Protein backbone atom coordinates (compact mmCIF):
# COMPACT_ATOMS: atom_id res chain seq x y z
CA UNK A 1 0.00 0.00 0.00
CA UNK A 2 1.38 3.35 -0.99
CA UNK A 3 1.28 5.79 1.92
CA UNK A 4 0.46 9.40 1.21
CA UNK A 5 2.76 11.81 2.99
CA UNK A 6 1.63 13.33 6.25
CA UNK A 7 0.43 16.90 5.97
CA UNK A 8 1.42 18.84 9.07
CA UNK A 9 0.58 22.42 9.84
CA UNK A 10 3.29 24.99 10.46
CA UNK A 11 3.91 23.63 13.97
CA UNK A 12 4.61 20.08 12.70
CA UNK A 13 2.43 18.37 15.30
CA UNK A 14 -1.08 18.54 13.77
CA UNK A 15 -1.73 16.14 10.91
CA UNK A 16 -4.45 15.26 8.43
CA UNK A 17 -4.06 11.64 7.29
CA UNK A 18 -6.08 9.04 5.49
CA UNK A 19 -7.25 6.01 7.47
CA UNK A 20 -4.87 3.81 5.47
CA UNK A 21 -1.86 6.02 6.24
CA UNK A 22 -2.73 5.96 9.94
CA UNK A 23 -2.81 2.15 9.80
CA UNK A 24 0.61 2.19 8.11
CA UNK A 25 2.12 4.45 10.76
CA UNK A 26 0.71 3.18 14.07
CA UNK A 27 0.24 -0.33 15.44
CA UNK A 28 -2.64 -0.41 17.96
CA UNK A 29 -1.42 -2.93 20.52
CA UNK A 30 -3.80 -2.83 23.48
CA UNK A 31 -6.84 -0.92 24.67
CA UNK A 32 -6.03 0.46 28.12
CA UNK A 33 -9.09 2.62 28.81
CA UNK A 34 -12.51 3.46 27.41
CA UNK A 35 -15.72 5.34 28.09
CA UNK A 36 -18.49 7.30 26.40
CA UNK A 37 -15.93 9.80 25.13
CA UNK A 38 -13.85 7.20 23.25
CA UNK A 39 -10.89 4.99 24.10
CA UNK A 40 -7.19 5.03 24.97
CA UNK A 41 -4.72 2.66 23.33
CA UNK A 42 -1.15 1.60 23.82
CA UNK A 43 0.46 1.97 20.42
CA UNK A 44 3.79 1.42 18.74
CA UNK A 45 5.04 3.55 15.84
CA UNK A 46 5.78 1.53 12.72
CA UNK A 47 8.19 4.10 11.28
CA UNK A 48 11.78 4.84 12.26
CA UNK A 49 12.14 8.49 13.37
CA UNK A 50 15.87 8.36 12.63
CA UNK A 51 15.42 7.13 9.05
CA UNK A 52 16.42 9.44 6.23
CA UNK A 53 12.92 9.32 4.76
CA UNK A 54 11.12 9.79 8.11
CA UNK A 55 8.39 12.43 7.91
CA UNK A 56 7.23 14.88 10.57
CA UNK A 57 4.64 12.47 11.98
CA UNK A 58 7.26 9.78 12.59
CA UNK A 59 9.65 12.27 14.17
CA UNK A 60 7.27 13.56 16.85
CA UNK A 61 6.49 10.09 18.22
CA UNK A 62 8.37 8.06 20.82
CA UNK A 63 8.85 4.27 21.05
CA UNK A 64 6.00 4.06 23.59
CA UNK A 65 2.87 6.01 22.70
CA UNK A 66 -0.59 6.40 24.21
CA UNK A 67 -3.38 7.35 21.81
CA UNK A 68 -6.66 8.91 22.91
CA UNK A 69 -9.11 8.30 20.11
CA UNK A 70 -12.70 9.21 19.20
CA UNK A 71 -14.74 8.10 16.21
CA UNK A 72 -15.93 10.72 13.73
CA UNK A 73 -19.53 10.63 12.59
CA UNK A 74 -20.40 13.90 10.90
CA UNK A 75 -24.15 13.38 11.29
CA UNK A 76 -23.91 12.64 15.01
CA UNK A 77 -24.00 15.64 17.35
CA UNK A 78 -22.49 13.50 20.11
CA UNK A 79 -19.57 12.52 17.90
CA UNK A 80 -18.99 16.12 16.84
CA UNK A 81 -18.98 17.18 20.50
CA UNK A 82 -16.42 14.49 21.36
CA UNK A 83 -14.10 15.57 18.57
CA UNK A 84 -14.43 19.21 19.66
CA UNK A 85 -13.67 18.24 23.25
CA UNK A 86 -10.59 16.31 22.15
CA UNK A 87 -9.44 19.30 20.10
CA UNK A 88 -9.83 21.62 23.10
CA UNK A 89 -8.00 19.14 25.33
CA UNK A 90 -5.18 19.00 22.81
CA UNK A 91 -4.86 22.80 22.67
CA UNK A 92 -4.51 23.02 26.45
CA UNK A 93 -1.87 20.29 26.80
CA UNK A 94 -0.06 21.36 23.64
CA UNK A 95 0.53 24.82 25.09
CA UNK A 96 2.99 23.29 27.58
CA UNK A 97 5.06 21.55 24.93
CA UNK A 98 7.76 24.23 24.97
CA UNK A 99 7.93 24.34 28.80
CA UNK A 100 6.84 20.92 30.09
CA UNK A 101 6.18 20.08 33.72
CA UNK A 102 7.04 16.55 34.96
CA UNK A 103 3.57 16.14 36.48
CA UNK A 104 1.60 17.20 33.39
CA UNK A 105 1.19 14.65 30.59
CA UNK A 106 3.36 15.28 27.52
CA UNK A 107 1.66 15.93 24.16
CA UNK A 108 3.08 14.61 20.89
CA UNK A 109 0.57 15.24 18.10
CA UNK A 110 -3.05 15.64 17.01
CA UNK A 111 -4.28 13.58 14.06
CA UNK A 112 -7.50 13.85 12.08
CA UNK A 113 -8.60 11.21 9.56
CA UNK A 114 -11.93 10.69 7.77
CA UNK A 115 -12.98 8.22 10.48
CA UNK A 116 -11.08 9.24 13.61
CA UNK A 117 -9.64 12.08 15.68
CA UNK A 118 -6.83 11.23 18.04
CA UNK A 119 -4.15 12.66 20.29
CA UNK A 120 -0.79 10.95 20.70
CA UNK A 121 0.96 11.45 24.01
CA UNK A 122 3.38 9.95 26.49
CA UNK A 123 2.57 6.40 27.59
CA UNK A 124 2.75 6.02 31.38
CA UNK A 125 3.03 2.57 32.96
CA UNK A 126 0.76 2.58 36.04
CA UNK A 127 -2.09 4.21 37.90
CA UNK A 128 -1.27 5.81 41.21
CA UNK A 129 -1.86 3.22 43.96
CA UNK A 130 -3.91 3.88 47.09
CA UNK A 131 -3.43 3.02 50.78
CA UNK A 132 0.17 4.14 50.51
CA UNK A 133 2.44 5.02 53.42
CA UNK A 134 2.73 8.75 53.99
CA UNK A 135 6.52 8.59 53.71
CA UNK A 136 6.08 7.39 50.12
CA UNK A 137 3.04 9.46 49.15
CA UNK A 138 4.27 12.89 50.30
CA UNK A 139 6.84 13.06 47.53
CA UNK A 140 4.06 12.44 45.01
CA UNK A 141 1.92 15.07 46.70
CA UNK A 142 4.66 17.64 46.36
CA UNK A 143 4.97 16.94 42.65
CA UNK A 144 1.20 17.16 42.15
CA UNK A 145 0.94 20.43 44.08
CA UNK A 146 3.70 21.80 41.88
CA UNK A 147 1.93 20.56 38.74
CA UNK A 148 -1.43 22.11 39.65
CA UNK A 149 0.28 25.38 40.63
CA UNK A 150 1.99 25.29 37.21
CA UNK A 151 -1.43 25.01 35.56
CA UNK A 152 -3.10 27.73 37.62
CA UNK A 153 -0.31 30.21 36.98
CA UNK A 154 -0.95 29.70 33.26
CA UNK A 155 -4.70 30.17 33.49
CA UNK A 156 -5.62 26.47 33.34
CA UNK A 157 -7.79 24.44 35.72
CA UNK A 158 -8.05 20.67 35.42
CA UNK A 159 -11.61 20.28 36.78
CA UNK A 160 -11.43 16.49 37.24
CA UNK A 161 -8.56 15.66 39.58
CA UNK A 162 -8.88 12.16 41.05
CA UNK A 163 -6.68 9.06 41.46
CA UNK A 164 -7.98 7.59 38.19
CA UNK A 165 -6.47 10.62 36.38
CA UNK A 166 -3.02 10.29 37.94
CA UNK A 167 -0.46 7.92 36.47
CA UNK A 168 3.02 7.08 37.75
CA UNK A 169 5.92 7.43 35.33
CA UNK A 170 8.83 5.00 35.16
CA UNK A 171 10.76 7.60 37.19
CA UNK A 172 8.17 7.35 40.00
CA UNK A 173 6.73 10.78 39.24
CA UNK A 174 2.92 11.27 39.39
CA UNK A 175 1.50 12.73 36.19
CA UNK A 176 -1.88 14.40 35.69
CA UNK A 177 -3.72 13.11 32.62
CA UNK A 178 -7.15 13.48 30.98
CA UNK A 179 -7.68 17.19 30.41
CA UNK A 180 -11.11 16.60 28.85
CA UNK A 181 -12.83 18.87 31.41
CA UNK A 182 -9.97 21.37 31.64
CA UNK A 183 -10.51 25.07 30.96
CA UNK A 184 -8.12 27.82 30.00
CA UNK A 185 -8.79 31.41 31.09
CA UNK A 186 -7.46 34.77 30.02
CA UNK A 187 -5.53 35.90 33.08
CA UNK A 188 -6.16 39.55 32.22
CA UNK A 189 -9.94 39.05 32.34
CA UNK A 190 -11.92 40.04 35.42
CA UNK A 191 -13.93 36.83 35.04
CA UNK A 192 -10.90 34.53 34.96
CA UNK A 193 -11.51 31.29 36.91
CA UNK A 194 -15.15 32.23 37.62
CA UNK A 195 -17.76 29.57 36.95
CA UNK A 196 -21.10 28.24 38.14
CA UNK A 197 -21.09 25.03 36.16
CA UNK A 198 -21.07 21.64 37.90
CA UNK A 199 -19.21 18.86 36.15
CA UNK A 200 -16.56 16.33 37.10
CA UNK A 201 -16.68 13.15 39.17
CA UNK A 202 -19.29 13.38 41.97
CA UNK A 203 -17.13 12.10 44.84
CA UNK A 204 -14.48 14.75 44.14
CA UNK A 205 -16.73 17.76 43.55
CA UNK A 206 -16.23 20.72 45.87
CA UNK A 207 -19.46 21.69 47.71
CA UNK A 208 -19.83 24.95 45.80
CA UNK A 209 -19.47 23.14 42.47
CA UNK A 210 -21.90 20.36 43.40
CA UNK A 211 -24.47 23.05 44.29
CA UNK A 212 -23.86 24.92 41.01
CA UNK A 213 -23.19 28.24 42.67
CA UNK A 214 -20.61 30.77 41.39
CA UNK A 215 -17.14 29.69 42.43
CA UNK A 216 -13.42 30.00 41.81
CA UNK A 217 -12.45 26.96 39.77
CA UNK A 218 -8.93 27.02 41.22
CA UNK A 219 -10.36 26.43 44.69
CA UNK A 220 -12.38 23.51 43.29
CA UNK A 221 -9.15 21.99 41.96
CA UNK A 222 -7.61 22.35 45.42
CA UNK A 223 -10.58 20.52 46.99
CA UNK A 224 -10.37 17.67 44.48
CA UNK A 225 -6.62 17.38 44.99
CA UNK A 226 -7.05 17.27 48.77
CA UNK A 227 -9.68 14.51 48.51
CA UNK A 228 -7.34 12.68 46.13
CA UNK A 229 -4.45 12.93 48.59
CA UNK A 230 -6.68 11.53 51.35
CA UNK A 231 -7.70 8.60 49.15
CA UNK A 232 -4.12 7.80 48.16
CA UNK A 233 -3.26 7.57 51.86
CA UNK A 234 -6.40 5.88 53.25
CA UNK A 235 -7.99 4.07 50.31
CA UNK A 236 -11.25 6.05 50.26
CA UNK A 237 -12.42 9.66 50.31
CA UNK A 238 -12.84 11.38 53.71
CA UNK A 239 -16.62 11.40 53.27
CA UNK A 240 -17.09 7.66 52.76
CA UNK A 241 -17.58 5.31 55.67
CA UNK A 242 -15.67 2.60 53.82
CA UNK A 243 -14.38 1.88 50.35
CA UNK A 244 -17.45 -0.33 49.83
CA UNK A 245 -20.00 2.46 50.28
CA UNK A 246 -22.16 2.89 47.18
CA UNK A 247 -23.69 6.00 45.58
CA UNK A 248 -26.08 4.44 43.09
CA UNK A 249 -28.96 6.89 43.48
CA UNK A 250 -29.46 10.63 43.61
CA UNK A 251 -30.37 10.26 47.29
CA UNK A 252 -27.05 8.53 48.00
CA UNK A 253 -25.15 11.39 46.36
CA UNK A 254 -27.14 14.00 48.26
CA UNK A 255 -26.22 12.21 51.48
CA UNK A 256 -22.57 12.20 50.45
CA UNK A 257 -22.62 15.88 49.48
CA UNK A 258 -24.29 16.83 52.79
CA UNK A 259 -21.20 15.43 54.52
CA UNK A 260 -18.95 17.55 52.30
CA UNK A 261 -20.97 20.67 53.18
CA UNK A 262 -20.28 20.02 56.88
CA UNK A 263 -16.66 19.07 56.23
CA UNK A 264 -17.40 15.90 58.21
CA UNK A 265 -14.66 13.29 57.83
CA UNK A 266 -16.03 9.89 58.74
CA UNK A 267 -14.59 6.45 59.39
CA UNK A 268 -11.05 5.76 60.57
CA UNK A 269 -7.88 7.28 59.19
CA UNK A 270 -4.27 7.46 60.17
CA UNK A 271 -1.81 10.14 59.10
CA UNK A 272 0.55 12.62 60.73
CA UNK A 273 -0.87 15.73 62.38
CA UNK A 274 0.92 17.89 59.85
CA UNK A 275 -0.63 16.04 56.92
CA UNK A 276 -4.10 16.15 58.47
CA UNK A 277 -3.78 19.89 59.02
CA UNK A 278 -2.73 20.40 55.38
CA UNK A 279 -5.60 18.30 54.05
CA UNK A 280 -8.17 20.06 56.24
CA UNK A 281 -6.99 23.37 54.74
CA UNK A 282 -7.40 21.93 51.24
CA UNK A 283 -10.76 20.25 51.98
CA UNK A 284 -12.42 23.15 53.78
CA UNK A 285 -16.13 23.27 52.81
CA UNK A 286 -15.95 27.08 52.88
CA UNK A 287 -14.15 28.03 49.69
CA UNK A 288 -13.18 31.41 51.18
CA UNK A 289 -11.31 29.62 53.97
CA UNK A 290 -9.84 26.96 51.69
CA UNK A 291 -6.17 27.46 50.88
CA UNK A 292 -4.92 28.21 47.39
CA UNK A 293 -2.55 25.83 45.66
CA UNK A 294 0.37 28.20 46.35
CA UNK A 295 -0.53 28.33 50.04
CA UNK A 296 -0.63 24.53 50.14
CA UNK A 297 2.86 24.51 48.64
CA UNK A 298 4.04 26.75 51.50
CA UNK A 299 2.21 24.88 54.27
CA UNK A 300 4.11 24.28 57.51
CA UNK A 301 4.02 20.55 56.76
CA UNK A 302 6.77 21.04 54.19
CA UNK A 303 8.67 23.43 56.46
CA UNK A 304 8.71 20.83 59.24
CA UNK A 305 10.03 18.23 56.78
CA UNK A 306 12.87 20.55 55.80
CA UNK A 307 13.73 21.15 59.45
CA UNK A 308 13.68 17.40 60.15
CA UNK A 309 15.81 16.92 57.06
CA UNK A 310 18.38 19.46 58.29
CA UNK A 311 18.53 17.96 61.79
CA UNK A 312 18.99 14.48 60.40
CA UNK A 313 21.76 15.67 58.09
CA UNK A 314 23.53 17.30 61.03
CA UNK A 315 23.39 14.07 63.04
CA UNK A 316 24.37 11.67 60.27
CA UNK A 317 26.30 13.64 57.72
CA UNK A 318 28.01 10.60 56.25
CA UNK A 319 24.85 8.70 55.24
CA UNK A 320 22.78 9.39 52.10
CA UNK A 321 19.55 11.19 53.02
CA UNK A 322 16.21 10.25 51.44
CA UNK A 323 14.62 13.08 49.49
CA UNK A 324 11.49 14.04 51.40
CA UNK A 325 10.23 16.90 49.28
CA UNK A 326 10.50 15.25 45.87
CA UNK A 327 10.54 11.55 44.97
CA UNK A 328 13.81 9.95 44.00
CA UNK A 329 14.18 9.81 40.26
CA UNK A 330 14.67 6.28 39.06
CA UNK A 331 12.67 4.48 41.74
CA UNK A 332 10.51 1.73 40.24
CA UNK A 333 6.84 2.59 39.90
CA UNK A 334 4.54 0.64 42.19
CA UNK A 335 2.44 -2.10 40.62
CA UNK A 336 -0.90 -1.10 39.17
CA UNK A 337 -3.82 -2.12 41.36
CA UNK A 338 -5.89 -3.51 38.54
CA UNK A 339 -8.98 -4.77 40.29
CA UNK A 340 -9.35 -2.09 42.96
CA UNK A 341 -12.46 0.02 42.64
CA UNK A 342 -10.35 2.95 43.87
CA UNK A 343 -8.31 3.03 40.66
CA UNK A 344 -11.09 4.24 38.40
CA UNK A 345 -14.14 6.43 38.74
CA UNK A 346 -16.44 8.09 36.27
CA UNK A 347 -16.03 5.34 33.68
CA UNK A 348 -19.00 5.65 31.37
CA UNK A 349 -20.76 2.89 29.45
CA UNK A 350 -18.18 1.00 27.46
CA UNK A 351 -18.18 1.67 23.73
CA UNK A 352 -16.29 -0.29 21.14
CA UNK A 353 -15.28 1.93 18.28
CA UNK A 354 -15.42 0.33 14.82
CA UNK A 355 -11.70 0.33 14.14
CA UNK A 356 -11.31 -3.43 13.81
CA UNK A 357 -13.46 -3.43 10.69
CA UNK A 358 -10.78 -1.31 9.03
CA UNK A 359 -7.98 -3.54 10.24
CA UNK A 360 -6.43 -0.81 12.45
CA UNK A 361 -6.91 -2.54 15.78
CA UNK A 362 -6.25 -6.07 17.03
CA UNK A 363 -9.10 -8.48 17.58
CA UNK A 364 -10.10 -8.69 21.24
CA UNK A 365 -10.77 -11.92 23.04
CA UNK A 366 -13.68 -12.09 25.43
CA UNK A 367 -13.48 -9.02 27.66
CA UNK A 368 -13.75 -9.52 31.39
CA UNK A 369 -15.36 -6.67 33.28
CA UNK A 370 -14.80 -6.06 36.97
CA UNK A 371 -17.56 -3.58 37.71
CA UNK A 372 -19.60 -2.66 40.73
CA UNK A 373 -22.52 -0.22 40.93
CA UNK A 374 -21.57 3.22 42.19
CA UNK A 375 -22.92 6.74 41.58
CA UNK A 376 -25.07 7.89 38.70
CA UNK A 377 -21.98 9.11 36.88
CA UNK A 378 -19.20 6.79 38.01
CA UNK A 379 -18.14 3.18 37.96
CA UNK A 380 -15.82 1.92 40.66
CA UNK A 381 -14.05 -1.07 39.22
CA UNK A 382 -11.33 -1.07 36.62
CA UNK A 383 -12.45 -2.21 33.19
CA UNK A 384 -9.89 -4.79 32.12
CA UNK A 385 -9.66 -5.66 28.45
CA UNK A 386 -7.65 -8.75 27.55
CA UNK A 387 -6.40 -7.79 24.09
CA UNK A 388 -4.86 -10.24 21.70
CA UNK A 389 -2.34 -8.57 19.33
Residue 293 and residue 359 in one domain:
no
Q: Which domain holds residue 31?
A: 7-123+347-384
pLDDT confidence of residue 198:
79
Cβ atoms of residues 202 and 181 within 8 Å: no
pLDDT at 20 over 70: yes
Q: Is residue 2 part of a domain?
A: no
The three-class DSSP label of residue 134 is helix
Q: Tell whether 133 and 275 lie within a shared domain.
A: yes
1 within a domain of the structure (yes/no)? no
Domain presence at residue 243: yes
* pLDDT attached to residue 49: 80
- Do 103 and 186 belong to one domain? no
pLDDT band, residue 36 (cuts 50/70/90): low
The whole-angstrom separation of Cα 179 and Cα 160 is: 8
Q: DSSP assignment, residue 33?
A: E
109 and 139 share a domain?
A: no
Which of 92-96, 233-237, 320-324 has the least mean pLDDT? 320-324
Task: Look at 295 and 212; give whichever has higher pLDDT.
Answer: 295
3-state secondary structure of 270: coil
**Are 56 and 6 contacting, i.e. CB atoms less than 8 angstroms apart?**
yes
Residue 314 lies in a domain: no
Cα torsion 182, 188, 191, 194: sign: positive
Total domains present in the chain: 2
Q: What is the pLDDT of residue 309?
A: 57
Q: Is 326 within the bounds of a domain?
A: no
DSSP string, 317-368: TTSPPPPSSSPPTTPPPPPP-TT-GGG----------TTGGGT-SPPB-PPE
Q: What is the pLDDT of residues 130-173, one digit of tens each?
A: 999 999 999 999 999 999 999 999 999 999 999 999 999 999 99
Asked if residue 263 and residue 353 are part of one domain, the reply reads no
**Residue among 349, 353, 217 at smallest CA distance from 290:** 217
Q: Residue 314: what pLDDT?
A: 52
Whether the predicted pLDDT of 200 surpasses 70:
yes
Residue 273 to residue 333: CA distance in whole angstroms: 27
- Composition of the chain by helix, strand, coil, percent to 5: 35, 15, 50
The answer to which of 134-148, 243-257, 355-369 has the lowest mean pLDDT is 355-369
Residue 40 placed within a domain: yes
Same domain, 133 and 119: no
pTM (2 d.p.): 0.77
110 shares a domain with 182: no
Q: Is residue 207 part of a domain?
A: yes
23-32, 178-187, 276-285, 334-343, range with the lowest pLDDT: 334-343
Q: How confident is the model at residue 255 (pLDDT cuts 50, 70, 90)?
A: confident
Question: Are residues 15 and 76 located together in one domain of the fold?
Answer: yes
What is the average pLDDT value for the chain, to the nearest integer? 79
pLDDT of amino acid 47? 83
> Which whole-number Å values give the CA distances from 16 to 94, 284, 308, in the listed order?
17, 47, 55
Residues 6+ apart with CB under 8 A from 179: 89, 92, 93, 105, 158
Residues 118 and 103 in one domain: yes
Please tell me whether residues 146 and 284 are part of one structural domain. yes
How would residue 354 be classed by pLDDT, with cut points 50, 70 and 90? very low
* 193 within some domain: yes
Amino acid sequence: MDAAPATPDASNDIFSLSDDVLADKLAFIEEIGNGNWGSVWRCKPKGDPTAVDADDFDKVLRPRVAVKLVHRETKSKTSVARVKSLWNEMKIVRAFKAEPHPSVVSFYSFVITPSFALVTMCLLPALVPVEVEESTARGWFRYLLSGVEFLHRRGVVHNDIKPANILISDKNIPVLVDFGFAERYDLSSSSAFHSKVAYGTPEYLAPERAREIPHDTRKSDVWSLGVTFFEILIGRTPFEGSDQEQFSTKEDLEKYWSRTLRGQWIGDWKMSRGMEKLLRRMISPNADLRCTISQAMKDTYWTMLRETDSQHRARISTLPLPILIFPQVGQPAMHRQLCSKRTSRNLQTTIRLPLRARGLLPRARKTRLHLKASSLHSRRKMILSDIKP
